Structure 1
Amino acid sequence: MITAICVSLIGALSTFHLSRFNKIGTIRASAFLTLVAYTILYFTVPDYEMMAVIFFGSSFVGMSCPVKMHNYTIIIGAVFFALFFQYLVPYLEGYGGALGMSAFLSVLVIQLALYFGRKLARSN
């Protein structure tokens, strides 16, 4: 689980920061970094397929809008992604559904926390 969280953090943060460069964008950043990560994981980790899938899925979290998300929210989202993914894989058929659902839920949780946090701060 710790390895999955670390891979998720690397995937989300690297995609988030690389996508901010001109002419790279979120899709190119995610695709490029996933290819690099897969190559590195293939030669270094016995369970490289699962770790590559986690990296790819966490890059979805890193594709979030930099205006709405920041480093700390990407970090929290990446941890949530790894947790959701680990628990959703047995219930959803194939990795694709678990990837998308985990990424969506992790970003949703962060956005809802930010929204209600702001609302609570305004009411005080």
Structure 2
Amino acid sequence: MRNVYLIDQFEAVQNEIHFILNEKKQLSQLQSTGQVIVDSDNEAFLYIIEENDAYSYISFSHVVWPQLLQMLMSGQQPYLKVEDGTMPLAQFVDELKGLLYNIEGNSNYGDHFVEAVEKAFADFFRE
């Protein structure tokens, strides 16, 4: 079973947004993959990371969607903050944008999830 780490805290640092991982993890244990997928059942976007030769997920639930929108609208660079530093979330912005465009109006993701995404990211879709 893969580990799923929930992001529920963040901090803005200049032109960056640091999503805080509250687990005891070291940078040396983690590596970006540049891939984002959807967990429509739990209404979350999952960033895939390599963790000690296995894959784990960083889960961005609807709790932090306002910050994801802010990141997209302002051009902030996303980072994962762990115990001993920060790691850039490679390709996160491009992957998230692609998913958002694919989800809009697409009932394959489930009507409830699509409605939640369209509402939370309405400003993004208007741009």
Normalising by structure 2, what TM-score? Answer: 0.31
Bigger proportion of residues as helix: 1
Bigger proportion of residues as strand: 2
Normalising by structure 1, what TM-score? Answer: 0.31
Select the structure of larger CA radius of gyration. Answer: 1
